[in-house]
């Protein structure tokens, strides 16, 4: 027989376990489930299974979730603030865009910068101190007003300064190709007073590729010479056609 676990008095976020409730039958496994009464900070008493409470206690020891454990009141209030319909509650604002890509983008960027999870993807945001400006954090309407609609299906949100925050002056809609260039590892080259990624200048080399420019600069070639000098293969093809 399994050892009895008394959870009376245990506090999990906004819930406190106050005592046992009547056990219920688990139809799937044909076994009774231990049920506990929990009182929410708002005063509502709800019933939760032992299995559910144990999972929450274990999870809370390693990760902080966006939603607090409660009777549901905090979830409803949080969703109301985010403009999501909850029961008969009206949407905050009249944007009617809660199912659009722009709304999902706004919701996701807030999550990336506020939820502490073990995934390296999240640590690159909240772990690096990346934040969402107050103007956007509290209002989808402000975000949409500043960013406008997504120009095409291939565009997504991109920070111009990858070390900067999500704010109007540092964000744009960009394609995957444009975002691929805009990385901390991207090498920028100034040629004739214009600064562009090395991939941009590499296509100017007659017969050359990206590796051509990389290798030339690595070997100490001046930037002008490295960009303007055709490859030997290009010269051979040119002479053969002549």
Any idea where the domains of the chain sit in the sequence?
A: 11-81, 101-181, 188-241
Confidence of residue 143 (pLDDT cuts 50, 70, 90): very high
Query: Average pLDDT over the chain, rounded to whole?
Result: 75
pLDDT at residue 89 tops 50: no
> What pLDDT does residue 76 have?
58
The predicted-structure confidence for 36-67, as pLDDT tens digits, reads as follows 899 988 888 888 888 888 888 777 655 555 45
| CA 128 to the chain's CA centroid | 13
Q: What is the maximum span of the chain, computed from C-alpha positions, in angstroms?
A: 94
The predicted-structure confidence for 159-209, as pLDDT tens digits, reads as follows 877 778 899 988 888 877 666 655 556 677 788 887 776 766 777 777 766
C-beta separation of 25 from 55 below 8 A: no
Q: Pick the closest to residue 135 from 173, 171, 97 (CA basis).
A: 171
**DSSP one-letter string for the chain:** -PPP---TT-EETTEEEEEE---EEETTTTEEE-EEEEEETTS-EEEEEHHHHHHHHHHHTT-B-SSPPSSSHHHHHHHHHTT---TTPPPSSS---TTSHHHHHHHHHHHHHH-B-SSHHHHTTGGGT--B-HHHHT-HHHHHHHH-S-SSTTEEEEESSTTS-BSGGGEEEEEHHHHHHSSTT--EEEETTEEEEHHHHHTTSTT--HHHHHHHHHTT--HHHHHHSPPHHHHHHHHHH-
> What pLDDT does residue 85 have?
44
- Mean pLDDT computed over 80-85: 49
> What pLDDT does residue 234 have?
53
C-beta separation of 199 from 210 below 8 A: yes
The predicted-structure confidence for 3-42, as pLDDT tens digits, reads as follows 777 888 888 888 899 998 888 876 556 678 888 899 988 8
pLDDT at residue 213 tops 60: yes
C-beta separation of 199 from 181 below 8 A: yes
């Amino acid at each position: 027989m399994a050892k009895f676990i008394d959870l009376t008095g245990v506090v999990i976020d906004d819930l406190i376990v106050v005592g046992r409730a009547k056990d219920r039958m688990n139809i799937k496994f044909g076994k009774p489930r231990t049920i506990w009464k929990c009182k929410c900070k708002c005063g509502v008493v709800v019933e939760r299974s032992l299995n559910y409470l144990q999972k929450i206690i274990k999870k809370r020891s390693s990760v902080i979730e966006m939603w607090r454990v409660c009777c549901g009141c905090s979830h409803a209030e949080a969703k109301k603030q985010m403009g999501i319909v909850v029961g008969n509650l009206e949407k905050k604002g009249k944007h009617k865009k809660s199912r659009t890509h722009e709304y999902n983008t706004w919701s996701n960027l807030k999550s990336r910068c506020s939820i502490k999870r073990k995934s390296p993807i999240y640590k690159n945001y909240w772990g690096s101190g990346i934040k969402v400006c107050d103007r956007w954090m509290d209002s989808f309407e402000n975000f949409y007003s500043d960013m406008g609609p997504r120009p095409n299906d291939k565009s997504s949100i991109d920070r111009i300064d990858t070390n900067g925050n999500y704010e109007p002056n540092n964000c744009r809609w960009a394609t995957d190709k444009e975002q691929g260039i805009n990385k901390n590892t991207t090498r920028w080259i100034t040629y004739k007073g214009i600064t562009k990624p090395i991939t941009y200048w590499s296509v100017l080399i007659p017969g050359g590729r990206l590796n051509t420019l990389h290798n030339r600069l690595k070997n100490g070639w001046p930037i002008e010479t490295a960009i303007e000098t055709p490859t030997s293969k290009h010269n051979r093809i040119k002479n053969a056609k002549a």
